Chain A
Amino acid sequence: MDFGLTEEQQIYRRVAREFAERELAPRAGAVEERGEFPWDNIRLLAEEGYFGMAVSPQYGGLGLNALTSAIILEEICRCCCNTGAILQGTMVCAHLLEKYGSEQIKLKYLVPVTSGQSIAAFAATEPQSGSDLTSHTTSAIDDGSDYVINGRKAFIGNALEAHFVVVLARTPSRSGRPSFSWIAVDRQAQGLSIGRREKTLGIRALSVAEIAFRNVRTPKSNIVGSEGEGLAILSSGLHWGNIFLMTEVIGVAQAALEASISYAKERRSLGVPIAQHQAVQFMVSDMATELEMCRLLAYKAASHYDQGLPFEKYATMLKIAAPDMAMRLTNKAIQIHGAAGYCQDFPVERLMRQARLYSIGEGTSEMHRQALARLLFREGV
């Protein structure tokens, strides 16, 4: 088992880091504070090919594997979580399209993503049910050559800027058991409306809003995968997406750790830099150790995915561990900064606010703990 990154991965990391530090980092604080979609950043990412990095060159992407893509995404989020979150939301949709979509739908929706023209949102969560899929009510009725979609999706990231939405809807069941399907819908489709933008705790430039579907027609050819495959796709797609979602919070935590180390070397109390105080030393050590543990778990999950090995368990473990780690870490980061940590002049308060999302988004930690427990009791460790 080679824990080293390949030369190619190291190069990608350097390139992404240089890009992020030069273009994204200087504006990151302002982007968060203004809470507006960072069009400049996103255009740059689109031009440079970041949106299609994990997509096959056949569809205009760079064809990078999950591990390399995760490394790149971490570098983006280390400098600007907002930009990374917007990127990841689109990447998940692109992944679903590439893996499960027909050639027709790939041409229609995937190619515009890789060429940097489209932003996407995936819509699974509903106002009354997040993790509890069986109580979802959004439906897609078969009407000849179209589906007609009715329902409401809530807390959808990229809702305001998405060019298309990939929606999870109930489709008619032949077996009597609930049947779900993923369907791509143009943002401009008649009957699709975006609700009020949520004012969130953090990652404020990422738009989060309800999407309402009132008799929205979409061609049946827009289905992603087969009818009834929705939950299976959700499960596998979500695991893939989780690796990247957690990579975001790892990037955020990395930024908080670096800020803490740098601050501790400069800030003095009792005649010495606080880096010489044992309390600070212990905090920084724990922060770095936990962060590395989560990063390794992320690398393992991605690496297993790339090798075609079962990876879901590791992705789930990662989804459980990383958000809590990031909350502990960013919390300590603020403490190390003292009063300054509570002020917006320093990055750590926004890093903690940003980190808070990750035990909730794309499946709560509780849901994942349940899922992991089921797996463990079924299969052993």
Chain B
Amino acid sequence: MEQIIVCIKQVPDFSKVPDVPIDPKKGTIRREGIPSILNPPDKNALEEALRLRDSGGGIVTCITMGPPQARAVLQDALVMGADRAVLVSGPALAGADTLSTSYVLAAAIRRLSPFDLVICGRETADSGTGHIAPSLAEWLDLPQITCVRKIEIHGRLLWAQRTIEDGYQEIEGPLPMVLSVTREINQPRPLRLRGVAEAMKKVITTYSPAGLGLEPKNLGLAGSPTQVPRLFPPRPRQEAQVFSGSAAEAVEALVARLRELRAI
């Protein structure tokens, strides 16, 4: 293995802030002041890359597209053990949907060639589309395997277990390839105190869209075929019928009503 590239993203920490404020104009999450973390499935992606490197050699490069504060997730990745980190950033990139985002990431990944593998987390905690890996694979004209829960490398052949609804598939294909991985695939190593000094010696490179030769019309909101015209609260539902009294009384009344509704 020469190089494994891991795409990571900084997302709001929904476990700390369950209800996030929305920017009504852009229809996007208002990030300022919200604690942010490395997207948990991306940690699994990074962990898998580190394991492959630890056993098979090469380097692990993490890449993210985001505002300057996204450096924090690259730093965390370096502390975990990634060798290099790349931030793709620029004001023109804001508001990009997944097509534009994957377009930009693909250009940056090409700049990092040669590489053997691109690994993404299955989806992000915020948008949760799971689009990036297949989109990237298309831009890079590479084979893809999504929802991977186990990987084995044999020479230039990659063997994977792919999770499907009621089981799994075993699929193989040639490197280089793009993968998305599920959280089942591994237990990410923790960030360790001793890793920080090491991480500080490593480099975070910043790429700008202009530096990658990308045209403004393909970036950010301008380069996104999809738009979010508005946000609105869901239709108010009828109030729940809550049964009171002692536990036994409430259960009695509940069962009676369930019968009436033909739910049981």
- A/B touching: CB–CB < 8 A: yes
A residues whose Cβ falls under 8 Å from a Cβ of B: 7-8, 10-12, 14-16, 18-19, 22, 48-50, 53, 62, 72
Question: Are B193 and A11 in contact, CB atoms less than 8 angstroms apart?
Answer: no
Given contacts A8-B200, A11-B199, contact A49 B193 (CB under 8 A): yes
A254 to chain B, nearest CB (A): 14
Question: Are B76 and A14 in contact, CB atoms less than 8 angstroms apart?
Answer: yes
Question: Are A18 and B190 in contact, CB atoms less than 8 angstroms apart?
Answer: yes
Given contacts A8-B200, A11-B199, contact A48 B194 (CB under 8 A): yes
A376 to chain B, nearest CB (A): 39
A48 to B200 CA separation, bound complex (whole angstroms):
17
Contact with A along B167-206 (1 / 0, CB 8 A): 0000000000000000000000011111111011000000
Question: Are A15 and B193 in contact, CB atoms less than 8 angstroms apart?
Answer: yes
B72 within 8 A of A: yes
Choose one: B72, B79, B191, B197; the contact of A62 (CB below 8 Å).
B197
A8 to B71 CA separation, bound complex (whole angstroms):
12
B98 within 8 A of A: no
Question: Are A48 and B72 in contact, CB atoms less than 8 angstroms apart?
Answer: no
A15 to B79 CA separation, bound complex (whole angstroms):
9
6 examples of A-B residue contacts, CB within 8 angstroms: A14-B76, A15-B191, A18-B191, A48-B192, A50-B193, A62-B197
Question: Are A53 and B193 in contact, CB atoms less than 8 angstroms apart?
Answer: yes
B residues whose Cβ falls under 8 Å from a Cβ of A: 71-72, 75-76, 79, 190-197, 199-200
| Complex: chain B residue closest to A19, CB-CB | B190
| Complex: chain B residue closest to A45, CB-CB | B193
A48 to B189 CA separation, bound complex (whole angstroms):
13
10 closest cross-chain pairs (CB), A and B: A15-B191, A48-B193, A49-B193, A11-B75, A49-B194, A11-B196, A18-B191, A8-B200, A12-B196, A15-B193
A66 to chain B, nearest CB (A): 16
Q: Which residues of B contact A12 (CB under 8 A)?
A: 193, 196
Q: Which residues of B contact A10 (CB under 8 A)?
A: 72
Q: Please give 13 more A-B residue pairs, beta carbons under 8 A apart, in addition to A11-B199, A49-B193, A49-B194.
A: A7-B71, A7-B75, A8-B196, A11-B72, A11-B79, A14-B72, A15-B191, A15-B195, A15-B196, A18-B191, A22-B190, A50-B193, A62-B197
Q: Which residues of A contact B72 (CB under 8 A)?
A: 10-11, 14
B192 to chain A, nearest CB (A): 6
Question: Are B75 and A62 in contact, CB atoms less than 8 angstroms apart?
Answer: no
B198 to chain A, nearest CB (A): 11
Question: Are B190 and A16 in contact, CB atoms less than 8 angstroms apart?
Answer: no
A73 to chain B, nearest CB (A): 12
